[in-house]
Amino acid sequence: MKKAQMKIQQMAFMLIAVTIFFVLVGMFFLTIKMATLKKDAAFLKEQEAKLLLDKLASSPEFSCGTSFDEQIPNCIDFDKVMVLKSKISNYSKFWGVSNIEIIRQDTKSTESCTPQNYPDCKILSLMNENAEGISVSNFISLCRRSSIMQDPYNYCEVAKILITYNEN
Amino acid sequence: MNKKGFEMSFSFIFAIIVGGFILFLAIFAISKFSSNQIQTQDVKTMKSIEVLANSFELGYENSTITQIQLPSDSRIYSYCNNLGSFGEQELILRSKYYDKWSERGSGIISKNKYFFFEEPLQSKSIIVFSKPFDFPFKVATLNYFIPSSQEYCFMDPPTWIKEELEKTQLSNFVIDDCQSNSIKICFEEDKDICNVIVYLKENYVEKDSQRYYFSGTALMFAGIFSEKEQYECQVKRLMQRTDSLTDLYLGKINFDLAQGCSANQQIDLIELKNFVSTLEDSYDLTKAPDFKNMLNKNSRSPCPTW
């Protein structure tokens, strides 16, 4: 090999090395940026779930309104949510979460709520019972209409609302 | 080197060509990357607004007000459709960097929120105020975006609107004392200076020779602060949600009946359901069923439906 050819080859290798170096630096920078972006997205998702949790009891699909005589803050209408469960296919992506669960605290039952066992049940799972992800929860008032010998009265109890969301 | 001319060695030419190519690639990658960064920032800002909008959901409050500072001068665009059970609204933000507007990136799609604003909304700071929309039960919380710097002058409004405006405590809303650059909103009378005229008896807002028919205060404000296309689409979305809520209340009545109680609202709710499912545009709101009877029945019943 001639001296000039050798020099060209050296230069070519040098240029390739420089290019690879800059590409690696760029990739390193991109990885850091992507990690920050992922962290930001996860933070926003968490914030969204927490705010939704705070305000879900105010949304008309859940709220008691004036249905139980007085306006009860943070109150969910159990009867209405049972109806909502039967129509949940329409609401699948409405709140952007994987599942919404209402867990009664003052009951011996351990069963999931179905039209057959309602209201003698523990957990009302609205979307996907087996949804995996991160959950946030809060306490609410859960009210429904009840009766003794067809004499109706309002029954309210403490329950927990749990929202499960997927980070991705 | 030859004494007669300039001679370049092959290695020198090779280095210039390859070096130039590498430089071109680097500049291209940086410009692409920075453009993507701006778009990512736009989506992030829009998502933050959408997340924040969850806190605007009204419970027993009558209205809320929030001021949002954007990282730079921004334009917000809205794309609304009525697909699926509830339709959706896509919000896209474009920001200004070095006197240039960022390219249109992807937006944030919302199915359960309703935003109204004049398009494109351009400002570095926006005010969001919210009001509940009842038809006749609560259907949704409507959010209105207005630029912080824009003044809205309400000329000779009726007392109840004056009270509504005073409750908001927004300095952007001025009553009667109009500045020359403010948007002037008149009531029942068409003057030359009016930008928007609200006809309360006929229930419509007139703006740019177009009519925005409304039902209730929340939709009246929506008409004042939005574009015709956006408004009509959002009204349809609200009716889609009313339709679903009617189903929920019809189901709830069955639960009440099983406990020996009912507000006797089935026929009214079925009538409402038929009405909302056939609504074509906001004009049809003028043919809405009479809600007074429904509201009376509900408030007087021992078992109110909503």
Residue A11 placed within a domain: no
Q: What is the mean pLDDT of residues A5-24?
A: 84
Q: Is the pLDDT of residue A85 over 70?
A: yes
B53 pLDDT band (50/70/90 cuts)? confident
Q: Is the pLDDT of residue B63 over 80?
A: no
CB contact B240 to A (< 8 Å): no
- State how far the alpha carbon of B298 is from the alpha carbons of A58, A127, B212, B295, B303, in Å: 19, 30, 29, 5, 8
Q: Is the pLDDT of residue B192 over 90?
A: no
Q: What is the mean pLDDT of residues B168-185?
A: 90
Residue B1: predicted pLDDT = 47
CB contact B59 to A (< 8 Å): yes
Residue B56: predicted pLDDT = 76
Please check whether residue A54 is in contact with residue B219, taking contact to mean a CB–CB distance below 8 angstroms: no
Percent above pLDDT 70 for chain B: 96
Mean pLDDT of chain B: 88
Condensed to tens digits (0 to 9), the pLDDT of residues B288-306 reads 988 998 999 898 888 899 9
Residue A137 placed within a domain: yes
Condensed to tens digits (0 to 9), the pLDDT of residues A42-79 reads 888 888 888 888 888 889 999 999 898 778 888 999 99
Q: Is the pLDDT of residue B3 over 70?
A: no
- Rounded-to-integer distance, Cα A14 and Cα B25, Å: 17
In chain B, helix, strand, coil percent, each to 5?
40, 25, 30
| Beta-carbon separation of B54 and A96 below 8 A | no
Measure in Å the smallest separation between the Cα of B255 and chain A Cα atoms.
7
Residue A34 placed within a domain: no
Domain range for residue A70?
56-165
Residue A43 placed within a domain: no
Residue A122 placed within a domain: yes
- State how far the alpha carbon of B29 is from the alpha carbons of A27, A32, B23, B304, in Å: 12, 17, 10, 63
Q: Is the pLDDT of residue A145 over 70?
A: yes
Residue B19: predicted pLDDT = 81
| Beta-carbon separation of A83 and B259 below 8 A | no
| Beta-carbon separation of A7 and B15 below 8 A | no
CB contact B245 to A (< 8 Å): yes
Most B CBs within 10 A among A39, A91, A143, A145, hence the mutation to make, goes to A145
Residue B86: predicted pLDDT = 95
CB contact B302 to A (< 8 Å): yes
B2 pLDDT band (50/70/90 cuts)? low
B257 pLDDT band (50/70/90 cuts)? very high
Query: Which SS3 state, helix, strand or coil, does residue B174 take?
Result: strand
B61 pLDDT band (50/70/90 cuts)? low
Condensed to tens digits (0 to 9), the pLDDT of residues B93-125 reads 888 888 888 887 778 889 999 999 998 899 999
- Rounded-to-integer distance, Cα A51 and Cα A67, Å: 24
Number of domains in chain A: 1
